[in-house]
Structure 1
Amino acid sequence: MFLKNTLRAGLRLGWCAALLATAGCNIIEFSPNDHRVPDEFTDLNQKNLTRLLAKPLPAGDTLRFVFTGDSQRFYDQAEDMVKTINEREKNIQFVLVAGDISDFSLAREMKWVDEQLRKLNVPYLTVVGNHDLNGNGRPTFEHIYGALDYSFVYGDTKFILIDTNSREYNFDGKIPDMGWLNAQLANPEGARRQMVMMHVPPDNSDFDPNLQAPFAQALARTPNLVAAMNGHNHSWRIGQLYNDGVTYVNSDAFSERSYAVMTVWGDKQFRIKRVAF
């Protein structure tokens, strides 16, 4: 009897091993920290920026783009949003997503979101969110999307996208990188106006309290700043946080089934339309 039971147990283990060996990588995940993805899912911000700059906006033309944030695990909403934007927003140049592409900083999450957003008729660009930095998130985000701080000029506008997820760095005084930000704001690179996009706004407890005032003051002394855009709070908000002339725009998360269309013209005139989907 002992030999029979041992034999049966051995056969069961052998069958399980064979099943796992033939199951394929879609079922077995060897490590949640593995950020390997096909090449088409790497350096996405730069690839989308290349697409955008291939269709330049002539000087003086009105700029129009969609602003949203916090896609996380809201995959059904992402699909519906893309469909709505493609059908209704015929005159936009690109889409900005204010971080938290993922929920758990996993490469497969970022890939799943990109598989929806790449169906947009226009390029999209994003900034890193706090959920994108969990665990091994930083190298994963850098591998898939690119630099955590970057800027670009499109038409008459310079866009500055900066990592403000201070809590993920234990409030070490280095995030946001004020030296980099001040240098960017001081050099508009020939642009008529500037805009800043971040994930965590400066009045949030996840923003380094020692850098809140320097950050807000840097924006306030930039005369050609149109607005500062952020996500993180998952709810719509627009207004001045410090009564210093700087307008902060907090996007809805995908889960709220709305996005904003931002139209910019002149020195720093703008209009925002909130769209439900």
Structure 2
Amino acid sequence: MIRREFLQLSVGLVALGCQPPSTKSSRRLRFAVASDGHYGQAKTDYKAYHENIIKYFKQERAEKGLDFVVFNGDLFHDNIQFLPEVKQYFDQLGFPYYVTRGNHDHVTPAQWRETWGYDLNHSVEIGKNAIILADTSNEKGEYLCPDIPWIDAQLAKFTKKEHVFLFMHIPAKLWSEHGTTCPELEKTLAKYPNLRAMFHGHDHAIDMGKTLSKPAFFDGHFGGNWGVDYKGYRIVEARSSSSCYTFQWNPEKQLKINEQVF
């Protein structure tokens, strides 16, 4: 695997270099992001992909610690009959996880709420931190901008949190053909210094960082039939009140694809 270099972000991302290894006692929060499992997609080994991702996250939790996981969209592939099955896999984690809707998750707001117990737009306080889960599609699978006034209200509510992280399946910028253009979102996000980063799925071929007034990180894919040539996930650690660290992980080769402090 050729090492991929991050775009140097305007908010002051620096190369990792001499950063010491993280320990459970030295970090304040550690979570994983995985996207695009596409449970039920024809001609893919989707059950094995889900068995593997659950196994990997249980290992991460036991060996290095994980506070939660976010499955960032395209949980299943088009047919809602697969929704209960994919939830059964996620429930095997045995610790907190959260989900966003992707464009292949053809589900109504009511069906979503009945399955997961919360709305398509949802936020969670996690101690001194918070996460925002924003919807970027609909039952038809269209690419949409998120509800920017709602995101603004959540960020305003969380201004005293040390770290806030935003999760949206579809990116709000055309870094490839797989995105949207939402200029008002960039202005909104720039107002909140404790919003550390946003996280996207959707584009299986991107597993690195971009910027949209804030760092924006992709995590490739852990299912589906296209994209980067491995099935992996992203790890994020909050190490202090002002410093976070992230890397993309290839679990099969036990290999960091990239790493960054932000």
The TM-score, its normalising length taken from structure 1, stands at 0.68
Distance 1:116 1:221, change over 3 A: same
Give 1:77's match in structure 2, choosing from 49, 53, 56.
49
The answer to whether structure 1 residue 269 and structure 2 residue 243 are counterparts is: yes
Matches within 5 A, 1:65-104: 65-73=31-39, 74-90=46-62, 91-104=65-78
Amino acid across the alignment from 2:125: V
The answer to whether structure 1 residue 199 and structure 2 residue 169 are counterparts is: yes
Shift of 1:167: 9.8
Work out whether residues 71 and 100 of structure 2, in 8 Å CA contact, stay in contact via their aligned partners in 1. Answer: yes
Matches within 5 A, 1:1-277: 62-73=28-39, 74-90=46-62, 91-106=65-80, 108-133=81-106, 137-145=108-116, 146-165=118-137, 168=140, 175-188=145-158, 190-204=160-174, 209=181, 212-242=182-212, 244=213, 246-255=214-223, 256-277=230-251
Shift of 1:105: 4.3
Highest RCO, 1 vs 2 (Cα 8 Å, sep ≥ 6):
2
Work out whether residues 64 and 262 of structure 1, in 8 Å CA contact, stay in contact via their aligned partners in 2. Answer: yes
Work out whether residues 151 and 158 of structure 1, in 8 Å CA contact, stay in contact via their aligned partners in 2. Answer: yes
> In 2, Cα distance between the equivalents of 1:252 and 1:206?
13
> In 2, Cα distance between the equivalents of 1:187 and 1:123?
22
Work out whether residues 165 and 207 of structure 1, in 8 Å CA contact, stay in contact via their aligned partners in 2. Answer: no
Distance 1:197 1:147, change over 3 A: same
1:245-275 per-residue CA deviation (whole Å, 9 max, x = no partner) reads x110112211242112211132341112322
Match of 2:5 in 1: none
Distance 1:166 1:113, change over 3 A: closer
> In 2, Cα distance between the equivalents of 1:138 and 1:75?
26
Shift of 1:207: 5.2
Distance 1:235 1:124, change over 3 A: farther
Decide which structure has the larger Cα Rg and report it: 1
Aligned residues: 209
Shift of 1:159: 0.8
> In 2, Cα distance between the equivalents of 1:231 and 1:122?
22
> SS where residue 50 of structure 2 aligns?
helix
Amino acid across the alignment from 1:216: E
Shift of 1:100: 1.1
> SS where residue 169 of structure 2 aligns?
coil
The Cα RMSD (Å) is: 2.5
Work out whether residues 164 and 199 of structure 1, in 8 Å CA contact, stay in contact via their aligned partners in 2. Answer: yes
> In 1, Cα distance between the equivalents of 2:205 and 2:216?
13
Work out whether residues 36 and 73 of structure 2, in 8 Å CA contact, stay in contact via their aligned partners in 1. Answer: yes
> In 2, Cα distance between the equivalents of 1:271 and 1:110?
32
